[in-house]
Each structure stands twice: as structure tokens, then as C-alpha cells.
Amino acid sequence: MGELREGFWNRPLGELNRAEWEALCDGCGKCCLHKIEDADTGEISDTNVACKLLETGTARCSDYRNRKAFVPDCLRLTLSIVEDVPWLPSTCAYRLRAAGRPLPGWHYLVCGDRDAVHRVGVSVAGRVVSETEAGPLEHHIVEWPAPDMDLLEPPVLAETGDDE
């Protein structure tokens, strides 16, 4: 898997080892929700219906290691396809880094707090229903609110005043 190098999330995606690639995910859970594609226009609508493996209260996969055995079409995001997945949310760490943009301030790798993604409303924790209970997808089309853009900036570090 490899070691997590200091500040690895600022390196180009192509330089990340497997452990670093996995660690880049912010845990928002949005890629684990069903989408509906309009057959005529190709337009993609979001829903609040989660894969059966997603823990709806935490937005974590309940069996990430073995997920392919239960959900064969679960997408495995890789470097070669990351720019070709149109429905990744604008906040997705892979999408941001593929575009050469920095991780947002609420990303746990930046702020050190895995709950920040939930607090700022980027994750789907507590806001989705499992596909095992949802019924027709068409009844669950949603538009996820855009997160507060101010929170997408890296936090400003306080001056230490050491040189006084």
C-alpha cells in the first residue's frame, strides 16, 4: 500500500501511492448515492437513495473491503477515469486534485477533523435513505445545496509572532 507522506495531498494525483490515494477520500458519501440519467438528454439527477452498503447515519461504507462482492458495479475510482466521471460532486477530493485545485479547509487531511465534512454539510450523513427502503428512485430526486464556499478555503494559520 505504501506510507502516507507528509503533505501527500498536495502532490499530483499520479504521484500518490495506493494508501495515499485511498486516504484522499473525504468520506462525503455522495458517490454512494444512486443517480438517474435522462435517456434522451443524458442529464444526470442526484437522488438521496444510498447504496445498500452505505451506513446512512455516518456516510461510511459498511464493508468497503468486500464491497465488490455485494455490489459488483460499485465504481472503483482510479487515476485513469477520475476526469471522466461526470457525476462526482464538485467537492470531491479526487475531482478537485485532478483539476489542480487544493483540498478545502474542511477536508480532514487539512484540518485534522474527520467530522468537519459532516459539520459543514458536505457529507450525506443523516440525509439519505437506503435503497432497501426507498422505493422508486424517481421519488427521491434532490439537489444537494452548495456548501459555503468560504469553508472551501484552507484555514488561515495564526501568526506565531516568533520574530518579535
In the complex, the residues that contact ligand SF4 under the rule CB under 6 A are 25-31, 77, 88-89, 92-94
Closest distance to ligand SF4 from the beta carbon of 61 (Å): 9
Nearest to 43 by CA among 73, 77, 81, 87: 87
Q: How far is CA 76 from CA 1, 44, 84, 163, in A?
A: 16, 19, 13, 49
Our CB check for ligand SF4 shows the closer of 30 and 140 to be 30
Q: What is the largest CA-CA distance in the chain?
A: 66
Closest distance to ligand SF4 from the beta carbon of 109 (Å): 11
Nearest to 47 by CA among 28, 71, 31, 70: 31
Residue with cell 438517474: 36
Closest distance to ligand SF4 from the beta carbon of 104 (Å): 11
Our CB check for ligand SF4 shows the closer of 86 and 136 to be 86
Closest distance to ligand SF4 from the beta carbon of 5 (Å): 20
Pairing of strands 44-50, 129-130: parallel
Closest distance to ligand SF4 from the beta carbon of 40 (Å): 26
Q: What angle do CA 119, 112, 28 make, to 5 degrees?
A: 45
Our CB check for ligand SF4 shows the closer of 13 and 28 to be 28
Cα separation, 36 vs 42, in Å, equals 9
Our CB check for ligand SF4 shows the closer of 139 and 153 to be 153
Our CB check for ligand SF4 shows the closer of 40 and 145 to be 145
